Amino acid sequence: MSPAATAPSGIPGHPALSPMLQRLAAERATGALMRDRGTLYLAEGQVVHAESPATPGIDILLTTGGTLRSEGWWDAVAQAGAGQRVGRYLVDSGRVPGGALELCHLGALYDAAFFALAPTHTPARFRYGVSHWIGPVRPVPVDAVQRETLRRRELLDRIWPDALTDSAPLVRAAHPLDAPVPPRQRRVLDLVDGARTATDIARELGRSAFHILVDLRRLAAAGMVATVRPAAAGPASAPGRIELPEVTADPDVALLRRLRDALEAL
Amino acid sequence: MANTEASLKEAMTSIEGTLGVALVDYTSGMALGTLGGGKEFNLEVAAAGNTDVVRAKLRTMEHLGIKDEIEDILITLGAQYHLIRLLKTRGSNGLFLYLVLDSGRANLAMARHQLRKIEAELEV
């Protein structure tokens, strides 16, 4: 490791997402960092796994994608769960190719880390010595996880700067534009029903939650979906009511500011 | 049965003129693995930027009503070739291999052939 590992300075130009995580990386800690929206598992200061209630777990990603049948997954958990080597067992028993497991695991790890590292007011806890039953797959440096998480936040805000899309139930727009929707986004759009949230859709499709957030923000930017606003939830759906576009009812100040800034910069 | 690191290594060593290679998730723009590159060529930045190239092409095909799949995208610069190969994944993740080649040393036909072989071995 570079000398920076002993004197954590965070990522230059960015505030550290979690000073505690930075410190744990520096002391090469092993255990589980529990935050408000997810848990990061560390081994010798590197991130080895992550879980969040907002994201589908690696089991869902593997089984829904058709890589693995769910009996195969449960068998692996039964055989190797106690020894905390489920990942290794899946590969060694020929159920999942090594490359597929790695990619799926990395996908799940970064996906859950994105939510686990979301801003929160609840203090984090760290339990030393705890490890995850999936076992070693491919450890990732803490800096890489923090960098990627920040990049993802910026990516989402560039697409459509309304974070409510990520967590609120969604509805399809009443008068969508007649534009073609790519197949991947179409499958997401088909599940938007006024009740499901991004997390529900991710579970259903067996895709990473962040992918769904990206698709939903793109659909929102294209005017195809909107969030169910708590105040409008009741009367807005009553028949006979004329539905006005959301923007006039509730101007998105951040977006308007951005527009103004962009126009001024021309 | 190759893991990602072995596949990237194979691309680096078996394809003549390779300067860098990355395996990229094109929805998030994240590089799941990179090899080569260096200070003057940041593969992670290239990975994120090239997802827009892939997306733009996919969208254009959608607008044109072309029901086909992209195999690869070739971009020729003065001194480099950039080759993007979309992987046919069993799962629903969209991935591509991104290859940076020195145009003075590379054999494009051979590079495409090798990349196809590596894709088959990666088994994602």
Percent of chain B with pLDDT over 90: 53
pLDDT band (50, 70, 90) for residue B105: very high
Using the structure block, give the residue that is written with the tokens 């072309």: B66
Average pLDDT over residues A48-76: 90
3-state secondary structure of A57: coil
Which residues of chain A neighbour B30 with C-beta distances below 8 Å?
110, 148, 151-152
Which residues are registered as beta bridge partners of B74? B83
Q: Is A144 on the interface with B (CB under 8 A)?
A: no
Q: Is A35 helix (H, G, I), strand (E, B) or coil?
A: strand
Position B6 scores a pLDDT of 87
Does A103 contact B90 at a Cβ distance shorter than 8 Å? Answer: no
CA-based nearest residue in chain B for residue A105: B32
Retrieve residue A168's tokens.
């609120």
Q: How many CB pairs under 8 A join A and B?
A: 78
For chain A, say whether B43 makes contact (Cβ under 8 Å).
Answer: no
3-state secondary structure chain B: CCCHHHHHHHHHHHCCCEEEEEEEECCCCEEEEEEECECCECHHHHHHHHHHHHHHHHHHHHHHCCCCCCCEEEEECCCEEEEEEECCCCCCCCEEEEEEEECCCCCHHHHHHHHHHHHHHHCC
Q: Determine the residue of chain B that is closest to A61 in CA distance.
A: B91
Q: Cβ contacts (< 8 Å) between A65 and chain B: which residues?
A: 90-93
Query: What are the DSSP calls for A143-156, one per residue?
Result: HHHHHHHHHHHHHH
Spatial distance between the Cα atoms of A247 and A255, rounded to a whole number of angstroms: 10
Q: Which residues contact A2 (CB under 8 A, 6 or more apart)?
A: none
User: Which residue type sits at B91?
Assistant: G
Determine contact: A102 vs chain B, CB below 8 A: yes
- pLDDT of res. A258: 74
> Among all residues of chain A, which has the CA nearest to that of B95?
A103
- Separation between Cα atoms, residue B97 and residue B73, nearest integer Å: 10
Rounded Cα distance, A51 and A119, in Å:
16
Q: pLDDT band for A46, please (50, 70, 90 cuts).
A: very high
Span B73-95, pLDDT tens digits: 999 999 999 999 998 765 546 88
What is the average per-residue pLDDT within B23-44?
89
Euclidean distance between CA atoms B55 and A155, whole angstroms: 14
Closest to B28 measured CA to CA, from B48, B11, B7, B46:
B48
Is residue A243 pLDDT above 90, yes or no?
no
What letter would DSSP give residue A259? Answer: H
pLDDT of residue A20: 93
Residues of B in contact with A106 (CB under 8 A): 32
Helix or strand holding residue A243 (H, E): none
CB B82 within 8 A of CB B72: no
Q: Which of A104, A148, A207 sits opposite B30 (nearest CB)?
A: A148
Residue A242: its pLDDT value, please?
Answer: 56
**Domain extents in chain A:** 2-158, 160-265
B68: pLDDT confidence band, cut at 50, 70 and 90? Answer: confident
Per cent of chain A over pLDDT 70 is: 83
3-state secondary structure of A47: strand
**Per-residue pLDDT averaged across A57-83, rounded?**
88
CB of B30 within 8 Å of a chain A CB? The answer is yes
**B68 Cβ under 8 Å from any chain A Cβ:** no
Nearest chain A residue (CA) to B93: A207
B117 Cβ contact list (under 8 Å, min separation 6) = none
**In this complex, is the C-beta atom of B39 within 8 Å of any C-beta atom belonging to chain A?**
no
Is it the case that residue A235 has pLDDT exceeding 50? no
Q: Are B93 and A103 in contact (CB < 8 Å)?
A: yes
ipTM: 0.81
What is the sign of the dihedral through the CA atoms of B2, B5, B11 and B14? Answer: negative
CB of B81 closer than 8 Å to CB of B108? yes
With bands split at pLDDT 50, 70 and 90, how would you rate the model's confidence at B3? confident
Decide if A18 contacts A24 (C-beta within 8 A). no
Average per-residue pLDDT for chain A: 84
Query: CA torsion, points A234, A235, A241, A242, in degrees to nearest 10?
Result: -80
The verdict on a CB contact (< 8 Å) between A210 and B28 is: yes
A25 neighbors A142 (Cβ within 8 angstroms): yes
| DSSP reduced 3-state for A103 | helix
Residue of A nearest to B58 (CA): A182
Tokens linked to A62: 């593997």
Task: Judge contact between A226 and A189, C-beta under 8 A.
Answer: no
Q: A29-33: long-range contacts (C-beta < 8 A, 24 or more apart)?
A: A29/A126, A29/A128, A30/A128, A30/A129, A30/A131, A31/A126, A31/A127, A31/A128, A31/A129, A31/A130, A31/A131, A32/A126, A32/A127, A32/A130, A32/A131, A32/A132, A33/A116, A33/A124, A33/A125, A33/A126
Q: Are A135 and A87 in contact (CB under 8 A)?
A: yes
- pTM for the structure as a whole: 0.81
- DSSP letters, A178-192, are -----HHHHHHHHT-
Mean per-residue pLDDT of chain B:
88
**Which of B23, B59, B123 is facing A100, going by the closest CB pair?**
B123
What residue of B is the nearest CA neighbor of A65?
A: B91
- The C-alpha of A182 sits at a distance from chain B's nearest C-alpha, in angstroms, of 6
| Residue A244: pLDDT over 90 | no
Q: Which residues of B touch A110 (CB under 8 A)?
A: 28, 30
Q: Is A98 in CB contact (< 8 Å) with chain B? A: yes
B70–chain A Cβ distance below 8 A for any pair: no
- Give chain A positions within 8 Å (CB) of B58: 182
B28: nearest CB among A97, A152, A181: A152
Q: What pLDDT, in 10s, does the model give residues A112-168?
A: 999 999 998 888 999 999 999 999 899 999 999 999 999 999 999 999 999 999 999
